[in-house]
């Protein structure tokens, strides 16, 4: 099984911020488009480590992860089978799970 490890702080930015490319250089859209989604396509398992950054805003997280369903047309089941999120701060893992569920519900309406 091919596994990819992504550390947001080491592989992207220690200060991820904003939703879209227009919001800044380290947006959720950029992370999803250039790092996360390609990794999910190319690997059977992707582990994302959220630790090491200053913190995350909801716009960044929702666009980076919720956008997998909304923009990249992945399903919740595909994401759950391929994506593992690691964080010492369960506030973020909890919110990400909610964004994925909410995006899936909207998509299925």
Partner 1 sequence: MGGCELSLLISAVVWIVTVIGWFVTNSLTKKRESRKEVRETLDKIYDATEALLKSSHTYYCSKDPGEQEVSCCEIYASLEKINGLCSRLENDYKDIKLISKLDSLFEIITGGDFNSINLTRDSTVYINKSKEIALIAETIRREGDNWFNYTFKPK
Strand order from edge to edge, sheet including 3-7: 3-7, 45-49, 83-86
The footprint of partner 1 on this chain (CB under 8 A) covers a number of residues equal to: 20
- How is the chain split among helix, strand and coil, in percent rounded to 5? 55, 15, 30
Rule CB under 8 A: is residue 78 a binding residue for partner 1?
no
> Please, what is the minimum distance in Å from the beta carbon of residue 90 to partner 1?
7
Rule CB under 8 A: is residue 18 a binding residue for partner 1?
yes
CB contact at 8 A, 27 and 20:
yes
Q: Which is nearer to partner 1, 12 or 46 (CB)?
A: 12
Q: Which is nearer to partner 1, 10 or 20 (CB)?
A: 20
CB contact at 8 A, 67 and 30:
no
Q: Which is nearer to partner 1, 41 or 91 (CB)?
A: 91
Beta bridge partner(s), residue 49: 7, 86
Rule CB under 8 A: is residue 97 a binding residue for partner 1?
no
Where does this chain bind partner 1 (CB under 8 A)? 17-19, 22-24, 54-60, 62, 89-91, 94-95, 98
């Amino acid at each position: 099984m091919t596994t990819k490890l992504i550390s947001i702080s080491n592989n992207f930015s220690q200060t991820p911020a904003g939703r879209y490319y227009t919001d800044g250089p380290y947006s959720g859209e950029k992370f999803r488009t250039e790092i996360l989604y390609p990794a999910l396509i190319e690997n059977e398992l992707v582990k994302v480590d959220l630790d090491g950054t200053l913190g995350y805003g909801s716009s960044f997280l929702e666009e980076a992860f919720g956008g997998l369903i909304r923009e990249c047309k992945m399903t919740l089941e595909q994401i759950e089978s391929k994506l593992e999120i690691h964080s010492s701060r369960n506030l973020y893992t909890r919110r990400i799970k909610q964004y994925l569920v909410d995006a899936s519900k909207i998509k299925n309406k």
